[in-house]
Structure 1
Amino acid sequence: MIAPADLEYCRGVIRTGSLSFHAASKLLPSQVRDPALALYAFCRLADDEVDEGIAKGQAVLQLQERLDLAYAGRPRNAPEDRAFAAIVDAFDMPRALPEALLEGLAWDAVERRYDSLSDVRAYSARVASAVGAMMCVLMRVRDADALARACDLGVAMQLTNIARDVGEDARAGRIYLPLDWLRGAELTPADFLNDPQATPQVRRMVARLLAEAHRLYIRSEAGIGKLPVQARAGIFAARYIYAAIGKSVRRHQHDSITRRARTTKAQKIALIGKAGVRAAGTIVLPQSPVLFAAPLNEVAFLVDAAAHRPDTDAPRRMDALFDVLAELKARESAAKRGIAAE
């Protein structure tokens, strides 16, 4: 399915660029691990180009072109693109899933800010839960309840990332904390970005993010028993390793301004062992009723897409995506005119 040289390249990208996923992926069966590494390499490259590059808008527009080519069966001549196109073909990957990721990256490129926790969850759905839904597709899982819990896990992971990176993001001019929380603390975004401090109010915001993440980690566990038996330990490992980042933030009194939480290699090994034990338990334990909880409103469209269910809101969402892409194109054109004028 995926050319061996392309797969090895993708494996190297994840080995150096996503330590937590690389550790967890070792527990996945090869028929899931290999396409998952290719998927994450494609998503990682796209995220890095938008997050770290200078021409963020151009990076998003190029990603749209790459998706067009991959879905047309004519991928760009690059290992990640060829591997992703192979996945699209072999697994009948719904295009709405990578397009949701594209929309989230476009929001990053236009430096969108989020007024409420629901808005932050909507962003997290796109940049993280979309990947979780794609992982389910790679496992041949299209059950709506399992997909909803996978999306819970994606949002939890992203909220953990946001909580960990509050200071790093602020120093880069980015803010993902809900703006209504800032207003409640009598802080303006400009004041916070100009002088990010680990004040009691900011620490409480970090704690609130981690509390929501913890709630969703617990909910997500109910869906792991619906995954293939051989894949369960790997998903539990990802859940435990990311949650451990949040625990590290808590140990430092929710100060993610002056320090960045990490997990050690020894911790990852211990958590992988815990994941194996927990996965074995899913074979004999009864199914949790939490499995049937309704999906978060912000991820419902991902569940519908992966489960091949009708999505009546798709036209509105596509219009919104086209609007943000048009905004990026206008910005890129204006930037080029400015350079030409100089």
Structure 2
Amino acid sequence: MQALPSRAAIVATARESIARGSKSFSAASLLFDRQTRQRSWLLYAWCRACDDLADGQDHGHGMSLVEDAQARVAHIRRATNRAFAGQWVGDPAFDALRIVVAETAMPRRFADDVIAGFQLDADDWRPRSEADLYRYCYHVAGAVGCMMAVVMGVDPADETTLDRACDLGIAFQLANIARDIEEDDQVGRCYLPVEWLVEMDIPPGQHMKPPFRSRLSVLARRLADRAALHEAAARSGTPSLSLRSAWAVLAAAGIYGDIAREVARRGDHAWDHRVSTGAGAKIGWIARAFGQAVRREALYSGVPRDPSLWTRPRS
């Protein structure tokens, strides 16, 4: 009988996945303690594999149209079911999730919520309102933030801290949407709410056309502004985390937040070249985030959350 891959082997594969899929998250993950770092890699591997399967990508690159979207989501759901049942799946990414589930008190509802986001894409769903946009962001990123909080040792019953983790995921996704408007358009997707496009008098499916570029940049800045609000709200949850986890979260918030800020700064030229955060900026945020983490009680405790911000659904 063939021996099953060891935990160390699956961790090593997960580390390769995050290194290839996201330099920003990879850099931030190094700030965790060893156990949390490994579990964050394992969770990332599952998220990355699911996203790649759903979007026809390779580690987040080269998104393409897929003809069997429903079948792909069904496969994700079946493999995830096996991981939560503690069964060997035979796919390193899903076996990575199996390890995370076994080692933490990971609630199944968050994984189900993430898969529901892939289902929305498979159904060719489009947001009509701003609330629809936030609901999508919750499913594909906010719920992942909640899973990461559990990986960092947050009690699944601590709804307040989970809310702040969700805020960070939503901030990341809003930045992604602003950066990837053109890339999404190339595969027939648009995550800008229909009501926003109507407000700017942009005809359906025409938002990337040159005559509408200045109007589109207004909506990109709006996404960046919303991302900044959720990023600020997320920071107020860091006093509930250990020093090293808070350091990693604050570094990731700054590094990824720069993506949305750069999209807004570029204006009409935001999609001439793909926005990314350079190595120097990452190092700068890692240094600043350590100081923020040390002073997180003074900086963020008791800071009120903007009551107008969207809040995740409770189970």
- Both proteins in one fold, TM over 0.5: yes
What pairs up with 1:79-94 in 2 under 5 angstroms? Answer: 79-94=92-107
Percent sequence identity over aligned pairs: 32
**Would the alpha carbon gap of residues 109 and 30 (structure 1) be closer, same or farther in structure 2, given more than 3 Å must change?**
same
1:63 corresponds to 2:73: no
Summarize deviations over 1:241-283 as a string: whole Å, max 9, x none: 1111112112212533333211111111111111111111125
- 2:26 matched to which residue of 1? 22
- 2:53 matched to which residue of 1? 49
- 1:99 matched to which residue of 2? 112
Cα root mean square deviation, aligned: 1.9
The whole-number CA distance in structure 1 between the counterparts of 2:299 and 2:224 is 28
Aligned residues of 2:134 and 2:310 also touching (Cα < 8 A)? no
Secondary structure of the 2:126 match is: coil
Secondary structure of the 2:269 match is: coil
- 1:279 matched to which residue of 2? 293
Aligned AA (1:115): R
**Would the alpha carbon gap of residues 177 and 140 (structure 1) be closer, same or farther in structure 2, given more than 3 Å must change?**
same
Aligned residues of 1:170 and 1:196 also touching (Cα < 8 A)? no
The whole-number CA distance in structure 2 between the counterparts of 1:253 and 1:105 is 30
2:254 is aligned, of 227, 240, 246, to 240
Task: Provide structure 1 residue ranges, at least 5 long, that are not aligned to the other structure.
Answer: 302-310, 312-342
1:191 corresponds to 2:206: yes
**Would the alpha carbon gap of residues 209 and 169 (structure 1) be closer, same or farther in structure 2, given more than 3 Å must change?**
same
Q: Which of the two has greater helix per residue?
A: 1
1:3 corresponds to 2:7: yes
Aligned residues of 2:70 and 2:122 also touching (Cα < 8 A)? yes
- 1:34 matched to which residue of 2? 38
- 1:141 matched to which residue of 2? 154
1:174 corresponds to 2:178: no
Alpha-carbon shift at residue 44 of structure 1 (Å): 0.5
Aligned residues: 299
Alpha-carbon shift at residue 197 of structure 1 (Å): 5.8
TM-score (norm 1): 0.82
Aligned residues of 2:224 and 2:260 also touching (Cα < 8 A)? yes
Q: Which runs of 4 or more aligned residues in structure 1 lie more than 4 Å from their structure 2 counterparts after TM superposition?
A: 283-286, 293-298
The whole-number CA distance in structure 1 between the counterparts of 2:240 and 2:27 is 22
Aligned residues of 2:83 and 2:89 also touching (Cα < 8 A)? yes
Task: Provide structure 2 residue ranges, at least 5 long, that are not aligned to the other structure.
Answer: 1-5, 58-65
Aligned AA (1:230): R
Aligned residues of 2:214 and 2:267 also touching (Cα < 8 A)? no
TM-score (norm 2): 0.89
- 1:264 matched to which residue of 2? 278
More RCO (CA 8 Å, sep 6+):
1
The whole-number CA distance in structure 2 between the counterparts of 1:29 and 1:300 is 31
The whole-number CA distance in structure 1 between the counterparts of 2:299 and 2:78 is 46
**Would the alpha carbon gap of residues 93 and 286 (structure 1) be closer, same or farther in structure 2, given more than 3 Å must change?**
closer
- 1:119 matched to which residue of 2? 132
**Would the alpha carbon gap of residues 70 and 295 (structure 1) be closer, same or farther in structure 2, given more than 3 Å must change?**
farther
The whole-number CA distance in structure 2 between the counterparts of 1:183 and 1:242 is 29
Aligned AA (1:244): D
Larger radius of gyration: 1
The whole-number CA distance in structure 2 between the counterparts of 1:40 and 1:84 is 9
